[in-house]
């Protein structure tokens, strides 16, 4: 798995924060759900790098704080096609009705109740 360094930002990570690449291609951080102490809600911009994203690549921040990219194993289009095919093959579920024995036992119960009165 060959990774390519896209931008050298050298971001220092702090515990309890999730670091990611935002929509504009800058490194941002947000407080983790189980991150401990309370912090301001929303995301904070850590470094401006303006990375232009390409399809089929996964972008992440490595241990040194650099923005890297790696080729994805599969494209999302291939997964979508397979799910459509399997959904079309499935037969509609049969509606289940009460079995004969169930009907008989409920009929017996009602006749017994009427006989007791």
How far is it, in rounded angstroms, from Cα 21 to Cα 9?
12
**pLDDT score for 76:** 61
pTM for this one? 0.55
Q: Where are the domains of the chain?
A: 4-71
The predicted pLDDT at position 81 comes to: 56
> What's the pLDDT score for residue 70?
93
Question: Strands 17-21 and 43-47: what pairing?
Answer: unpaired
pLDDT of residue 84: 60
Query: One digit per residue, pLDDT tens: the chain, 117 residues?
Result: 688 888 888 889 888 889 999 899 899 999 888 766 666 678 889 899 888 998 999 999 989 989 999 999 875 665 555 556 666 677 777 777 777 777 788 888 888 888 887
According to the model, what pLDDT value does residue 110 have? 85
Tell me what pLDDT residue 71 has: 92
């Amino acid at each position: 798995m060959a990774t390519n360094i896209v931008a050298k930002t050298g971001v220092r990570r702090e515990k309890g924060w999730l670091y990611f690449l935002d929509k504009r291609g800058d490194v941002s951080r947000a407080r983790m759900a189980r991150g401990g102490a309370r912090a301001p809600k929303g995301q904070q911009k850590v470094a401006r790098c303006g990375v232009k994203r390409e399809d089929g690549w996964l972008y992440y921040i490595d241990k040194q704080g650099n923005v890297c990219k790696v080729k994805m194993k599969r494209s999302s289009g291939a997964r979508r096609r397979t799910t459509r095919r399997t959904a079309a093959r499935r037969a509609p579920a049969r509606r289940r009705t009460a079995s004969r024995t169930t009907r008989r036992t409920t009929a017996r119960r009602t006749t017994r109740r009427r006989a007791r009165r």
